[in-house]
Amino acid sequence: MTTHTHTAPGAAGLAPSAPAVPALGRAGLLTVLLGAALPLVDFFIVNVALPTMGHDLHASEPVLELVVAGYGIAYAVLLVLGGRLGDLLGRRRMFLGGLAAFGLTSLACGLAPTAWVLVIARIAQGAASAALLPQVLATIQATTEGPRRARAMSMYGATAGLSMVAGQVLGGVLVAADLFGTGWRSVFLVNVPAVLLGLLLAARTVPETRSARPEPLDGPGTVLLALTLTTLLAPLTEGRAAGWPLWTWLSLAATPFLAYGFYAVERRADRAGRTPLVPPSLFQLVSLRRGLAMIVPFALGFSGFMFVIAVALQQGAGMGPVSAGLALAPMAAAFFVTSLAGPRLVARWGTRVVTAGGLLQAAGLLLIGFAAWRTWPDLGVLQLLPGAAVAGAGQALQLPILFRVILSEVPAARAGVGGGVMTTAQQAAMALGVATLGSLFLSLTPGLGMRDALLLTLAAQLATVALTLALSLRLPRTVR
């Protein structure tokens, strides 16, 4: 393997030169982007496969919700810890370990004989994703500079957004294709060859990096963050299907106290000069703080929409899994094409491009709602095409740029922590989106019918888009 290095600026004359930083080549960048795509694809790939899973495994609705929620909660809870472990043990090592674990847990999901075995395997798969994904951002931050970093971050953002849409499309195609008689199992088994390819490439192309001054793990912070996210996400994802038993309300009531305890522990560690799991001082960075505030409603609305549209198209409009998946293909295509132009638009117009993206996304949702209102239940690919394409273009002008904004001022020494915080906020919001907008849609359907329930849920998502539009006006005008 040929080693490429570049030297950080700042050394001159007799001053000691800055240590050489291993550079991430093109093949290495494509490899870590493959690693970023797999966990995001798998969050959405099951949406259109859930009805087939339920029929095959004789699973009840609450258990099927756990197939989605178990992955999302484990993923969100452990992401920051995954970033810290990469800083401590080496990001390439954690990338390889997380990728291998993701492949093994995907195989376990694909071979699961019962619904509960599938739930357990999905939780393990979420934990593997949490070990894998933070290393991607941290590696990019630590091995690129200037224009190369801007391009790499744009490619990461485009990969993330495209993966979330393409996952649902791919899920429908795989279920319908029934490869070798595997049915829904192929949505998990398809990961195995991708992981093997990723391991082979990563061993040859991804440089090893770690924090120059790694800190020990923050045990109390890790436990409190895990408890905070679990007590929030678990009742919201399972409460409606379970009939809102007492434990759901007790869990939600405990969340603010646990959140304050987590903040107090982290602030104390930060002031003592230690590096906590989520350093409060990191939020002094304006770009990170304002970008995170915007990515939460964006991810919440997006993931909720993807879940709701999958259910509505299959159970209401009578589509099969492949048609339901392909109905969103225009969204994926528009996202991909628009994201290619994103860096040039940002160079000229700055973060006002994000505001324009929000307006486009809102217009797309209105077009989707109008199509549903006018043509239901004959809602198909053709009727959805204009709205899906416009919404996809709008999303492409938001998500990749937000990733760049959030991490633009994070120092390389804290790359793993910064990436973990960002992806935790995004993943927790995605899980909340499925729980809140999904529950709203499913609870409205019996009384109003599926069309009106869909329209009201789209209106709720429009409210999240309005919030992102307002917050986009507070972003720094330029992106480093």
For 119-148, the pLDDT digits (tens) are: 999 999 999 999 998 899 888 888 887 788
Which residue, 62, 328, 315, 54, is CA-closest to 172? 328
**Across-strand partners of 214?**
none
pLDDT tens, residue by residue, 454-471: 999 999 999 999 999 999
More confident residue, 47 or 405: 405
Whether 56 has a pLDDT exceeding 80, the answer reads: yes
Cβ-contact 116, 64 below 8 angstroms: no
Report in angstroms the alpha-carbon separations of 167 from 48, 122, 174, 406: 10, 16, 10, 25
Residue 98 structure tokens: 């997380």
Provide the terminal-to-terminal Cα distance of the chain, rounded to the nearest Å.
31
Whether 62 has a pLDDT exceeding 80, the answer reads: no
**Average pLDDT for 312-323:** 81
pLDDT at 4: 43
Whether 178 has a pLDDT exceeding 80, the answer reads: no
φ/ψ of 21, rounded to 5, equals: -110, 125
Whether 453 has a pLDDT exceeding 80, the answer reads: yes
Cβ-contact 141, 407 below 8 angstroms: yes
pLDDT tens, residue by residue, 94-106: 999 999 999 999 9
Q: What is the mean pLDDT of the chain?
A: 84
More confident residue, 320 or 136: 136
CA 465 to chain centre: 17
**Average pLDDT for 366-387:** 89
DSSP classification of residue 179? G
Q: How far apart are CA 207 and CA 92, in angstroms?
A: 7
pLDDT at 20: 57
pLDDT at 150: 77
Residue type, position 60, single letter: S
Count of C-beta atoms within a 10 Å radius of residue 98: 26
pLDDT at 211: 73
* Total residue length of the chain: 480
Cβ-contact 116, 460 below 8 angstroms: no
List CB contacts of 261: < 8 A, sequence separation 6 or more.
Answer: 224
Report in angstroms the alpha-carbon separations of 419 from 76, 229, 415: 13, 18, 6
